[in-house]
Amino acid sequence: MSVNLYGVADVNVSHFRNGDGSITSMNSGGLGGSRFGMRGTEKLSDRLDAIFVLEGGFNINNGTSAQGGRLFGRRAYVGLRSKDYGTFIAGRLQGLGYEFSGAYDPMVLAPGSVIGSLTGENPRPWMYNPLADPARMDNAIQYKSPKMHGFELGYQHGFRAAPNDAAPRTKSYDLASLTYAEGPLSMTYGFGRSTGTTYSTAATSSQTEHAVGIRYKLSWATLFGTYQLRKTNGYAGTDRAWQVGARVPISKAGNVHLAYGQSTNDTPYGATESTADWGVRSWAVGYVHNLSKRTMLYSYFKRLDNRGNARQTIFPPGGLPAPTTLGDQVTAFGVGIQHRF
């Protein structure tokens, strides 16, 4: 039996601005969420292991717990890993949608993430997003097949929470992915379906998603692209989100990160459901400098243009709420340091 302790300490100072004002704040988790965790493996046979992970997020700027105060809010699972049959885990999971977004995000800087603005900062987060639940999923099981000829199959199910007469019925989720990763090329197709709740709004109805991601490593850069679709039961229109980007090494220690993307929401929701032409455009640039294998300095700038009836802010808001006027522009700039242990 082996148990490893690990963690990430990450802090940044960022300046946020929209039409209502601006604020400069210290925030936790720019390049990666601050966390502590333990993971363990017990060898049951030559080809089968028992595994577990318990991982909690925290806010390093004030010492509080993240993920709503959960003890292990990032991940908490136990399972079996077989060389012949694949891996099965159960608990609170960073799911297939989280993994998809992380694999194909050229920024990998939470407040500077373009795919985060398109799918996670959205008031109705996508299933395939890097920031908001159900990217992390309670009451979930997940299976991943062994890798064969570069292909890996994944499936995940999130059960409804226990019934509660005082609250609407929660959603359940089914996600599946097929990934090919061999040499310089990585490609993923993801499918997701959620059930509806006892409400009948666009945000609580059943939904179906498709997501395609591609990453290709060249000698001078790594290129990224994603395209996502979402349909909501009972509502006309198709929601779309896409981004392109690159990571370009400019020295042995430093990389420039670039991204641009757009999203449109043809399914109305919120206080202005009758307002047409909802959408967001975002672009970002960042720089990550490796002081060592464990310690990195980083900086980023992101701009988000709200269109139609969109009123999004940038994660984390750091005390700056979403803009109050339609068509507002939000910007964020920050510098930070991360240490992994």
Look at residue 270 in the predicted model and tell me its pLDDT. Answer: 60
| Residue 171 lies inside a defined structural domain of this protein | yes
Which tokens in the block code for residue 306? 């709200």
Look at residue 275 in the predicted model and tell me its pLDDT. Answer: 52
Identity of the highest mean pLDDT range in 120-124, 198-202, 233-237, 294-298? 294-298
Domains: count for the chain: 1
Look at residue 309 in the predicted model and tell me its pLDDT. Answer: 86
| Residue 203 lies inside a defined structural domain of this protein | yes
Look at residue 85 in the predicted model and tell me its pLDDT. Answer: 97
Structural domain boundaries enclosing 252:
84-340
Look at residue 272 in the predicted model and tell me its pLDDT. Answer: 52
- For 97, the enclosing helix (H) or strand (E) is helix 96-103
- Identity (one letter) of the amino acid at 103? A
| Residue 290 lies inside a defined structural domain of this protein | yes
| Residue 295 lies inside a defined structural domain of this protein | yes
Residue scoring higher pLDDT (55 or 205): 55
Binning pLDDT at 50, 70 and 90, where does residue 202 land? confident
| Residue 18 lies inside a defined structural domain of this protein | no
| Residue 67 lies inside a defined structural domain of this protein | no
| Residue 48 lies inside a defined structural domain of this protein | no
| Residue 182 lies inside a defined structural domain of this protein | yes
Q: The domain that contains 303 carries what CATH number?
A: 2.40.160.10
Quote the pTM value: 0.93
pLDDT digits (tens, 9 = 90+) for 97-134: 999 999 999 999 999 999 999 999 988 899 999 999 99
Q: Does the structure show a pLDDT above 80 at 276?
A: no
Which tokens in the block code for residue 283? 């672009």
- For 116, the enclosing helix (H) or strand (E) is helix 114-119
Residue spans of alpha helices (H) in the chain: 96-103, 114-119
Binning pLDDT at 50, 70 and 90, where does residue 160 land? confident
- Are the C-beta atoms of residues 93 and 140 closer than 8 Å to each other? yes
Residue 266: how many other CB atoms lie within 10 Å: 17
